[in-house]
Amino acid sequence: MENPEIIIKLTSDEALVLSDWLEQVQMTDLSRLVGDAAVWAPLHRIAGTLDKSLSGIFAADYAERLEAARSRLRSDLGDSAIDEEGTDT
């Protein structure tokens, strides 16, 4: 019998960066970005779960924590991934 739920594991850095991105996506007109409204339900669920799990999103130094997490994730990807994105400085 198949498990009806999928469990996704993220590092704290991945969760923080994803949470921020999902917040930005939710603040846009989702219908322009996501053509199928059925996708909105899982996006909102993931964002809500992350918000509940990440106490740091309300910290005074949130911006610094977020940038540090982004920097570590970029570093983990390696130079080739950064070059492909065109964000190499």
pLDDT (tens digit, 9 = 90+) per residue, 33-89? 777 888 888 988 999 999 999 988 889 999 999 999 999 999 998 754 545 555 544
Q: Would you say 65 and 59 are in contact if contact means Cβ atoms under 8 Å apart?
A: yes
What's the CA gap between 42 and 61, in Å, rounded? 29
Q: What is the end-to-end Cα distance of the chain in Å, rounded?
A: 50
Q: Is the pTM of this model over 0.85?
A: no
Residues 6+ apart with CB under 8 A from 17: 66, 69, 70, 73
